[in-house]
């Protein structure tokens, strides 16, 4: 029976890998240019993005996700279905925490329909440089996020860089994705006039 368990685990792993790879290949993500790379840390330049954003209250992340999902599922002035993109963005500011879906490029260019819910707002995320660290889930989400943010801030300080605003957390994969396969990133904005490190990795 032991070989049956091993075979089952192998099949589950292969299926999970295929589903995650297929999901990433078919889901639109924003384009960016990598300006600098040091191991798992990248400095990226992003164009302006249009976001559909809602405020999260307490630990209500699932409620926030469904609020945004209803908007892309036709809860807008055009009753338009809007494609899901990745990543989902979370930003914890001084006064509130927000969750955002990135509007697909074609929809943004054609004009984003107005949300029917007053809990959803459409806003622009200006073109920015971000320093980004990709991380995996190994423990609790909060602990992993804090560890990744601390590591990224330590790297920024060691490089003599400064950052603007609150950190962004980016989540690329659906909830059924095994923890070790999930793509998670923490992002810090860099002032555009700031000089980048001169060395390459």
Beta strands in 20-111 (DSSP E): 33-38, 41-46, 49-56, 88-92, 97-102
pLDDT tens per residue, range 112-160 = 999 999 999 999 999 999 999 999 876 678 899 999 999 999 999 999 9
User: CB count, 10 Å around CB of 14?
Assistant: 10
By the 10 Å C-beta count (0-12 exposed, 13-18 middle, 19+ buried), 178 is classed as middle
What's the angle, vertex CA 173, arms to CA 166 and CA 107, rounded to 5? 75
Q: What are phi and psi of 183, to 5 degrees?
A: -100, 110
Q: Model-level pTM?
A: 0.82
Distance (Å, whole) CA 201 – CA 196: 13
pLDDT tens per residue, range 31-86 = 999 999 999 999 999 999 999 999 987 555 678 999 999 999 999 999 999 999 99
């Amino acid at each position: 029976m032991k070989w049956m368990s091993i075979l089952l685990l192998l099949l589950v792993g292969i299926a999970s890998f295929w589903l995650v790879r297929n999901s990433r290949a078919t889901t639109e993500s924003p384009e960016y240019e990598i300006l600098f790379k040091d191991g798992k840390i990248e400095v990226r330049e992003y164009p302006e993005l249009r976001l559909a954003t809602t405020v999260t209250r307490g630990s209500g992340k699932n409620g926030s996700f469904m609020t945004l999902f209803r908007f892309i599922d036709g809860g807008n002035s055009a009753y338009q279905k809007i494609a899901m993109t990745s990543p989902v963005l979370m930003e914890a500011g001084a006064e509130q925490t927000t969750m955002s879906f990135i509007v697909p490029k074609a929809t943004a260019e054609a004009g984003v329909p107005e949300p029917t819910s007053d809990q959803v707002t459409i806003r622009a995320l200006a073109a920015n440089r971000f320093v980004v660290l990709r991380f995996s889930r190994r423990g609790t989400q909060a602990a992993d996020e804090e560890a990744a943010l601390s590591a990224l801030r330590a790297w920024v300080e060691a490089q003599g860089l400064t950052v603007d605003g609150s950190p962004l957390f980016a989540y690329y994969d659906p909830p059924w994705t095994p923890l070790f396969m999930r793509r998670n990133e923490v992002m810090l904005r860099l002032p555009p006039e700031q000089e980048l490190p001169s060395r390459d990795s």
